[in-house]
Chains A and B, each alone.
Chain A
Amino acid sequence: MPLRRPVDRWLLFFAVMLMAIGMVWVYSASWVRGASGGGGAATAFLVRQLIAGMLGLVLMLLLTQLDVAALQENIRPLQIAYGGLMVLLIAVLIIGPKVNGAHRWIRLGPFGSIQPSEIFKPLAVLMAAAWMVRNREAWNDGFGSLPKLVQLFLIFIPPMGLILLQPDLGTAFLIIFVVMLIVFLGGAPRWIFAVTMPILGLVGFLFIWMTPWRWARIIAFLDPWADPQGKGHQAIQSLLAVGSGGLLGVGPGQGQQKYFYLPEAHTDFIYAVIGEEAGLVGTVTVLALFMGILWRGYRIARRSTDSYLRLVAMGLTLLLVVQALMNMSVVLSLAPNKGIPLPFISFGPNSLITSLICLGLLMSISKDASA
């Protein structure tokens, strides 16, 4: 048995801090909505988030015991998980109820619901990393690397297609982005990116341009004040929330924007509520905690001597941090709205559990001085 280190306690600390902040603001941002929804209680959202947190922590603890390195040679578990998620991604289109115009959840009666696209995120990291490491010889082979990359591309086409069908552009974009970073870190030749980036960019542009409401989101991002009551509403309300918070904020629970001014205050725009109620202190704290996760993730990757573990660690870290930065960018009107939750903080049991799965895997790698 190789030497084992203790788990990365800083990583755990940062994540638990974020979760704690999340619980406070899920309640603050959702109680108005919870209390005014049909017969709901003010704590309705908080209770669901707390249960998910418990479940997630249990899963995380279990995953810290997993031997991640084993997955690079024995890819059967990944294949099984891939197959299972494909079934769920198909099922969600068929039996998932349409909520806000998208099929995202499979209802499990009293046990809540499953969001397959969320669970697919860590799997995508594990798969991409495994692929990159297994085919490492190909990457120095000039054009010889092309078939391998095309194969990887083909593996990701079905799940990505299904996620886009839901439609859930934000998650699909995030997964593609992180997978490309893994491919980049995994050693793929630079010219590949010189070719694929423009192509993907064009495809993405066409995809957005051909769907009127997505195009409208872009327009609204560029000039929210053109239609302050309609398309620009969300962006403006988010800026108002963040800007009115000032240095110290108006105080936890004292925010006004959650009174239905700010859409999705407890999910995608919870960072705005934090900005309003906790001010610059709150927003910078959250940003710093994510940077802390980046720092610990980077450290774990650097200290790992195994290529696969290194790629997985970096991939999972990027998955969490890039997602957080994207969410913040949307809230601060630095990027168009994509519908991405803030990891550990936004309300969403599936999102929270997925984030804790990533954390569990990272911690498992951190213990492993192996290699």
Chain B
Amino acid sequence: MALTPTSSSPRRLLGRPEARDLATSRLPWLMGVILLWGAAIFTRLIWLQVVQHRKYQVQSEQQHTITVPVPPIRGEIRDRRGEALAISLKAESLFATPRFFYPDFRKDKGERAWGNPNKKLAQDVASQLAPILELPKGVVADRLLKKSPFVYLERQLPASKVAAIKELISKAEEEEEEDKPNGFKALAFLDESRRVYPRGSLASQIIGFVNVDGQGQLGIEQTSEQLLAGRKGEFVAAKDARNRLRLLREQYTQVPVNGSTLQLTIDSTIQHIVEESLEEAVRLSRPATAYAVVVDPNTGEILAMAGTPRFDPNQLLPRKFRYRGEGDLSPAERDELRRELDRQRAARKVHPVEDAYEPGSTMKIFTAAIALEERKVHLGERIDCMGGRWVYNAKQNAITDTHHHGVLTFEEILWQSSNVGAAKMGIRLDPATHFQYLHKFGFGEPTGLNFPGETQGRLPIPAEWSVPTQYTLSYGYGLNASPLQVLMAGCAIANGGKLMRPILVSRIYNDKGSLLKEAKPEVRFTVMSEETSALMRESLKGVVSQGTAKKAKLDGGVEAFGKTGTSRKIINGKYDPKRHFASFMGFFPAEAPQYAILVMLDDPAGDADGGSVAAPVFKRIGDAILRYRQGGGDAERGADLKLSLRDWPVGETDEAVVHIQEGRVPSLRGLSLKAAIQRIVMAGGVPRVEGHPEGLGAAQVKAQSPEPEADLKPGGVVIIRMGAP
């Protein structure tokens, strides 16, 4: 202390009241205050961390965790050989929280006060998003500012767009500054699944489609909604304040259950044959609509069911009409849209089960079969057909035939389709018995298929019958039925007398691939004896060989039998002599029928009857099925579906994200079907799978068109052909 000789010590010795002493006296006082301050902090800590700990813990938990819904993957729909008809891919939808753009937004007692929007911010976000979404900037901005808690900007985006938008969001986050709102915070993604129909319009009426919310809207998608949809799962995850998930503490509160996979009885190849044949028939005969059903008469399994026009569930609404109000469209576009919607409405009608018609001549085979079974008639019995005109009651209209037949045998009545002959056989029956049989054939009763919109037809009970009813019932008027009902009844004649319940869904697998349920063939009624059935089969061969349906004769000497039907349509409450339902119901091979086909042309052009317009369609379908069968198709029914389910690895589809470039055809050879489809969809294309009759198993892509690296327009079709590896 050399430098401070005059420090405090001498002064203290003098005993004068010094500042130092003041400091000494004031110091404890100050220390007391500081200690009090420390005590206050201690008390506060006890209060916060002990007394109120639970409250804050709950709040903090709520803040740090988020319940993430895990949408189930919708089940698949396969055909009888395991070929995919409807599959689901993961897709992300972009949504916004518009509240973010309303700085003065308040929520008071449930009332929302929006205040004025920050338009500049929304427009800034919109201008960056619009080019990626390929939407006009104004549309995006309008959506961002919509006064709603939640608004979709775009549903089910392809992966490349998702990546581009996520990049924008993270860029905005990095450049974020205090006191300057970041509009991209209002955006977020939602996982959804996207339905893809690999075969496009194939069997679209049976399969149906899903709306943008993933709910089945038609056909199997609608009837089996519960099974296909699965159950939504949830897990609780930690997140940071920027709403990014931190999947450290993931725990399912509800495990998601993916939808079940349905295997249909439909055979894609036969379905394809039927659809092509119907298109051809529409070109030739110009009916209002044409439809056909193919059933295995022994089991009731529906192998194909189709009608015109068709629709492609992958492209329900042309892109140019999406997100545009009626007002934005030019008159020409509005017309186009209306036509398109009308066309689709027509296309969504499943005529074979929804339409009820009067079966007409087809009915005669049932009349004949009943009479035969009841021993009221025998083969070769000659019946006078009164020259084609029979006045059975003075007060009623005469029964007429198109040709003037004299006396015909039992068989000839069927071959020539004589109304008079059929009526004479019919009235030999006791009305109650007649009704009983018709009932057992399934008329006036639901078929048990449970298809949406299905009609059960109408069969009057004997008490309601008037004088002519039994006469007209005998040749197919005075009752109505759906084509499927008629075909199932026909199958009872073909299969030895059993009315089968039609089956469309043969097996149900859960998401692990194990079989949950299998539909077994079900006999609803035994309508007649084996013997009668055999006699009817034999008799009806003549319809094809020498009767009204010569045009239905199949190639390669395969015998078929069947019956034409030409029934008048009721237009404005009256039978119109010029407008018909022209149909042919046929079965082959005749000895042991495996295929039952009903072809219906609704109102064909000109004075066409079933034999001239429907029978050729039957022949075309039948020949094609026979060729397909000879080519080795089908055979092993119910290929190993479990194997093919496992054949679609998730990894393969995930990895695809890296390699796919939008607007360029991806390379697909060697991939599994699902992976190939996923890549096509991600590249912005529409997949179309060509049939591969050699069965599935572990099939892979063998050929594609266009070739890889070619330009791909949005919505462009990429055809892939599958084959065994």
What is A's interface to B at a CB cutoff of 8 Å? 2, 32, 38, 67, 69-70, 72-74, 100-101, 132-133, 136, 139-140, 181, 184-187, 239-247, 256-257, 259-261, 275, 279-280, 283-284, 287, 290-291, 294, 298, 301-302, 305-308, 310-311, 314, 318, 321-322, 325, 328-329, 332, 334, 370-371
Contacts and interface: CB of A to CB of B under 8 A. Distances in A.
Contacts of A67: 1, 3
Nearest to A258: B240
Nearest to B5: A73
B240 A243 contact: no
B26 A244 contact: no
Contact of A325 (B18, B23, B41): B41
Interface in B19-75: 19-20, 22-23, 26-27, 30-31, 34-35, 37-38, 40-42, 44-46, 48-50, 52-53, 55-57, 59-61, 63-64
Nearest to B45: A283
Nearest to B16: A140
Given A243-B57, A275-B49, A287-B38, A136 B26 contact: no
Given A187-B23, A259-B64, A294-B38, 8 more contacts: A185-B22, A186-B23, A244-B56, A261-B240, A287-B38, A305-B8, A306-B9, A307-B23
A240 B26 CA distance: 39
B23 A260 contact: no
B30 A243 contact: no
Given A100-B178, A241-B60, A370-B1, A279 B49 contact: yes
8 contacts: A186-B19, A187-B18, A242-B49, A243-B48, A243-B55, A308-B7, A318-B34, A329-B41
A257 B240 CA distance: 8
B12 interface: yes
B49 A240 contact: no
B7 A371 contact: yes
A146 B241 CA distance: 54
Contacts of B20: 187, 307, 310
Given A260-B240, A294-B34, A73 B63 contact: no
Contact of A181 (B8, B30, B37): B30
A368 to B, nearest CB: 8
Contacts of B120: none
A116 to B, nearest CB: 24
A242 B30 CA distance: 29
A69 B49 contact: no
Contacts of A101: 178
B17 interface: yes
Contacts of A245: 49, 53
Contact of A260 (B30, B34, B242): B242
Contacts of B23: 185-187, 307, 310-311, 314
B403 interface: no
Contacts of A257: 60
A133 B18 CA distance: 10
Contacts of B22: 139, 185-187
A29 B685 CA distance: 48
Interface residues of B, number: 49
Given A184-B30, A275-B49, A334-B44, A246 B57 contact: yes
B3 A261 contact: no
A218 B19 CA distance: 38
A30 B676 CA distance: 45
A325 B1 CA distance: 35
Nearest to A301: B27
A284 B30 CA distance: 22
Contacts of B239: 259
A21 to B, nearest CB: 16
B41 A136 contact: no
A250 B266 CA distance: 59
Contacts of B37: 325, 329
A305 B178 contact: no
B60 A70 contact: no
Contacts of B50: 246-247, 280
B57 A334 contact: no
B466 interface: no
Closest 6 CB pairs of A and B: A243-B56, A187-B19, A259-B240, A260-B241, A244-B60, A187-B22
B339 interface: no
Nearest to A295: B31
B8 A306 contact: yes
Nearest to B60: A244
Given A186-B19, A287-B42, A287-B45, A38 B174 contact: yes
Residue among B1, B4, B38, B174 facing the most chain A CB atoms (10 A cut-off): B4
B56 A239 contact: yes
Interface string B233-258: 00000111110001000000000000
B7 A284 contact: no
Contacts of B48: 239, 242-243, 275, 332
A128 B668 CA distance: 82
Tell me which of A69, A139, A185 has the highest count of chain B C-beta atoms within 10 A of its own C-beta: A185
